[in-house]
Structure 1
């Protein structure tokens, strides 16, 4: 088994100097934030990976590299909901609705909101007449807000309306 303790770069970013045989680890989008992985590559090699820096894995990340080979990540495509907001207010409303369901989203450079397909969310968006489509895509990265502790030192106050 090959042991890796960090990301050694990305084949899509930067200067990869030497071409060498590349084996792939295929991951679902929801596995990219896991800190410890033990899996098989497409070529049948077993690899154990511990993500010491905590950054989510991206498509093309190099998990292992030696003189003979490199092992990189390929994120598999999945069925997705793609929302095209008409304005900033619509973007805010939809992101609020999705956030209330604790679903991770990805907002790409075209300002599309992309999330893994969920039938109830699809029905919600269709019923509210939002511009939503279903497509098979790669979700390159999802970031969710992670709250680890609450503090009494916050500066804002919450009041209830009468």
Structure 2
């Protein structure tokens, strides 16, 4: 006699509930912090499987862990968002740069002081300073060749 567990039962048996955070934390195989489970012979991410049991994941959207715990699969802790929104909410480089309000020299990233280069914000005041120094250096080089 073979005992066959439902997918829901497999999720519950292989997880730990954290009463403080409310997270259902996957206790089995993790890949980059995300739980993995085999469904119909295919390896899938646990949080996507669990969310899909309650609501469809809209095309083109990914699930953001509102609790910031990748191993959590509590559907109440997951929100479908665009990949760009998910990246900006995270802790990665792109999110960090997007949250900056000033350039490294302290000039505000606002209004006319912003220009875009290769999809990244740049500070116009810093560019003016850089151009001024370049012109002064070239002028000094030209004068030293004449003398």
TM over 0.5: no
* TM-score when normalising by structure 2: 0.26
TM-score normalised per structure 1: 0.24
The structure where helix makes up a greater share of residues is 2
Structure ID, larger Rg: 2
